[in-house]
Amino acid sequence: MLEVDIRIRRGAFALEARLGAPTPGVTALFGASGAGKTTLALALAGLVTPDDGRIALDGECWFDAAHGIAVPAERRRIGYVFQDARLFPHLSVAGNLDYGARRARPLVRYADRDEVVALLGLKGLLERRVHELSGGERQRVALGRALLAQPALLLLDEPLAAMDVARREEVLPYLETLRDRYAIPMLYVSHQYEEVLRLANHIVLLADGRVAAAGTPAELGTHPSLQALIGAEAVGAVIDATVATVGPASGLAEVTIGRARLRVSLPGATPGAQVRLHVLARDVILATHPPEGLSVRNAFAGHLLELKAEAADSVLATVAIDGMRILARISPAAVEELKLAPGMAVWALVKAASLRRQAYRRGESAPVPL
pLDDT(362) > 70? no
pLDDT(360) > 70? no
Please tell me the predicted confidence (pLDDT) of residue 107. 65
| Local confidence band at 363 (pLDDT 50, 70, 90 cut-offs) | very low
Question: Nearest Cα to 269, choosing from 284, 254, 291, 286?
Answer: 254
| CA distance readout (Å), 201 to 114, 171, 326 | 28, 18, 20
Same topology between domain 2-230 and domain 237-360: no
- pTM of the predicted structure, to 2 decimals: 0.84
CATH number for the domain formed by residue range(s) 237-360: 2.40.50.100
| Local confidence band at 162 (pLDDT 50, 70, 90 cut-offs) | confident
Question: Nearest Cα to 87, choosing from 135, 47, 121?
Answer: 135
Please indicate whether residue 144 or residue 257 has the higher confidence score (pLDDT): 144
| CA distance readout (Å), 2 to 97, 152, 181 | 27, 11, 20
Q: What three-state secondary structure class fits 259?
A: coil
Specify the CATH class of 2-230 in words.
alpha beta
- pLDDT over 70 percentage in the chain: 94
Please tell me the predicted confidence (pLDDT) of residue 306. 92
Count CA atoms within 13 Å of residue 105 on its CB side: 17
Q: What three-state secondary structure class fits 283?
A: helix
pLDDT digits (tens, 9 = 90+) for 25-82: 899 999 988 889 989 999 999 999 999 999 999 989 999 999 999 999 988 888 888 8
Q: What three-state secondary structure class fits 157?
A: strand
Q: Where do the structural domains in the chain lie, given as residue ranges?
A: 2-230, 237-360
Task: Quote the longest CA-to-CA distance of the chain.
Answer: 70
pLDDT digits (tens, 9 = 90+) for 1-12: 899 999 999 888
pLDDT digits (tens, 9 = 90+) for 194-230: 889 889 999 999 999 999 999 998 888 878 888 888 8
What residues form DSSP beta bridges with 260? 257
Contact at 8 Å (CB) between 203 and 211?
A: no
| Local confidence band at 366 (pLDDT 50, 70, 90 cut-offs) | very low
Cα gap 258→108, rounded to integer Å: 38
What integer best gives the mean pLDDT of the chain? Answer: 85
